[in-house]
Structure 1
Amino acid sequence: MQLRVMSFNIRCASAPDGEHVWARRKALVIERIRAFDPDLLGLQECRDDEQVAYVRAALPDYEFVGVQRGGEGDSAIEMAPLLYRRAAFAERARGHFWLADQPDRPGRRSWGAAYPRTASWVRLAPRAAGVPPLAFLNTHLDYQGTAREESARRLRRWAQALPAGEGVVVTGDFNAERDSETFRELTAGGVLREVLQEAGAAAGSYHDYGRAAVREAIDWILASPNLRTEAAGVDAWCAGRLYPSDHFPVTARLAAVT
């Protein structure tokens, strides 16, 4: 069995994006998701209002796991949810924590972060034979202070604490490039490695609706050593001048190491 993974920052519906307003591009977001047909999907910048309602209604065959990040102001309802295909997995456990010094405290913000940030996870039993039990986590790191580095360290420790032999997949917008301390923290010790880089496909994904002079490679998919990379890449697609988001989705096809 190939495990199909996608990470996609879909840009908040409340953003004042002019011609790229959510109402114009929301169908394209779903089109790109359906075009790849992921088993595991991590989304970022998904508001728990009509945006989440639209995504859930458009993807009824997926289980949706997410929590509002909390804090002050209108952005408190933003989420970084994960979705998994119900037909492919039986759920064993799920949870959330905040990327903060008190991870069980909702809305907690630490390390100079601009906003509270969350990580949502599930532990899954694949229904197909020959695939190990799997833990899947999705997140969106902050961009201020030392929050990225500290969050990366916490995420790596979460992965290290999982049972031996369990596959691990981590998706997210990490707000950092692959030459950063954030990347080094996440991949330290070989518990996780970044599969786009491994596949030679570490192109940039953040493009600011085509306006960026150089695309930033800040969206990653990480996996444990017992999941082999079959293919990975950036879905650099647009409909003329209309983009699904200011980020391109990143994708990977993984298989169990036998």
Structure 2
Amino acid sequence: MRGFFILILLLSVQASAQNLRISSYNIRMNRANDGVNNWNLRKDKVNELIRYHDFDIVGVQEAFKDQLDDMLRMKEYAYTGSGREDGKSAGEHSAILYKTSRFKLLKSGDFWYSETPDVPGKGWDARCCNRICSWARFKDLVTKKEFYVFNSHFDHEGVEARRNSGKLLVAKMKEIAGKLPVIAMGDLNSTPDTEQVVYISQHYNDTFNASEMPPYGPIGTFNAFKYDAALKDRIDYIFVSEHFKVKKYATLTDSYQQKFPSDHLPVVVDLEIKK
């Protein structure tokens, strides 16, 4: 009987080790006028959160190069992804951080949410900013399986831009990933009832709805640095292809001194690639 329980324990540990813990986290750009919420005052809290919750892969939005350099003080991580202004290092990144002990980066790239996605630029009715999606193909060194990750930040002003960004994202994922497993995440600046989120959900599973366990934490993901925010609107997402089981979903509300580490809350899921 004792041997049976040891076997069950070993199988449980093995299954846990094969799970993927994935997060989407808008870390808020480094702006001097953010006062008490300035990046230099919260960067350690962002890193501590990521480490404590043991994210295997985290897609960050609004990250400037200096912020990514600060995050690489977590020596177990590397990142891929280009700056949205020039496709190199200028401007915000939708970078993908990953544990180098667990994953091998096989291929990576970027595209822009515009009518000319292969070159930096803004599209449709977007006025403010270039909007970028960074993607990567990984090999899991534990399971030996390969999969793709796409990390996006949709426009916050252009209604047409967001609508067309949803269509472009789906088209690009099918073009780039083919039949391999896909994880798509990001700040979509869109609630679940919008045309673009509905469209993506017709092709990939929204992990909020697909989770085997009831979602944990508030529904809303944007807090505007307000500790008493209502947290009603879900605008940050993780979608997956049919290759994945969604074991758990959470919106994390970790805070310090009644402050959040960012103006968005991180979304995190535990995934398992189906046999």
Task: Please list every run of 5 or more consecutive structure 2 residues that lacks an aligned counterpart in the other structure.
Answer: 1-17
The aligned residue for residue 87 of structure 1 is 101
The aligned residue for residue 116 of structure 1 is 130
- After TM superposition, the score normalised by the length of structure 1 is 0.90
The aligned residue for residue 152 of structure 1 is 166
The aligned residue for residue 54 of structure 1 is 70
Task: Work out whether residues 91 and 123 of structure 1, in 8 Å CA contact, stay in contact via their aligned partners in 2.
Answer: yes
What secondary structure is seen at the aligned counterpart in 1 of 2:155?
coil
The aligned residue for residue 209 of structure 2 is 197
Task: Work out whether residues 9 and 247 of structure 1, in 8 Å CA contact, stay in contact via their aligned partners in 2.
Answer: yes
Number of matched pairs: 247
Q: Find out whether 1:240 has 2:262 as its counterpart.
A: no
Q: Find out whether 1:9 has 2:21 as its counterpart.
A: no
What secondary structure is seen at the aligned counterpart in 2 of 1:46?
coil
Determine the C-alpha separation between the residues in 1 that align with 2:147 and 2:32. Answer: 34
The aligned residue for residue 14 of structure 2 is none
Distance change >3 Å, CA 150–CA 236, structure 1 → 2: same
Determine the C-alpha separation between the residues in 2 that align with 1:158 and 1:37. Answer: 29
Q: Find out whether 1:253 has 2:251 as its counterpart.
A: no
Determine the C-alpha separation between the residues in 1 that align with 2:262 and 2:172. Answer: 30
Q: CA deviation at 1:168?
A: 0.5
Task: Work out whether residues 156 and 187 of structure 1, in 8 Å CA contact, stay in contact via their aligned partners in 2.
Answer: no
The aligned residue for residue 199 of structure 2 is 185
Q: CA deviation at 1:197?
A: 2.7
2:59 counterpart (33, 37, 42): 42
Task: Work out whether residues 25 and 242 of structure 1, in 8 Å CA contact, stay in contact via their aligned partners in 2.
Answer: no
User: Sequence identity of aligned pairs in percent?
Assistant: 28
Q: Find out whether 1:27 has 2:41 as its counterpart.
A: no
Determine the C-alpha separation between the residues in 1 that align with 2:256 and 2:157. Answer: 33
Determine the C-alpha separation between the residues in 1 that align with 2:232 and 2:28. Answer: 16
1:223 counterpart (206, 228, 240): 240
Determine the C-alpha separation between the residues in 1 that align with 2:239 and 2:232. Answer: 20
The aligned residue for residue 155 of structure 2 is 142
Determine the C-alpha separation between the residues in 2 that align with 1:84 and 1:237. Answer: 21
What's the CA shift string for 1:25-82, capped at 9, x where partnerless? 111100110111111110011112x3222112x22222211211117xxxx6111111
What secondary structure is seen at the aligned counterpart in 2 of 1:16?
helix
Q: CA deviation at 1:15?
A: 5.2
Determine the C-alpha separation between the residues in 1 that align with 2:145 and 2:172. Answer: 18
Task: Work out whether residues 43 and 82 of structure 1, in 8 Å CA contact, stay in contact via their aligned partners in 2.
Answer: yes
Distance change >3 Å, CA 117–CA 213, structure 1 → 2: same
Letter in 1 for 2:162: R
Determine the C-alpha separation between the residues in 2 that align with 1:101 and 1:225. Answer: 29
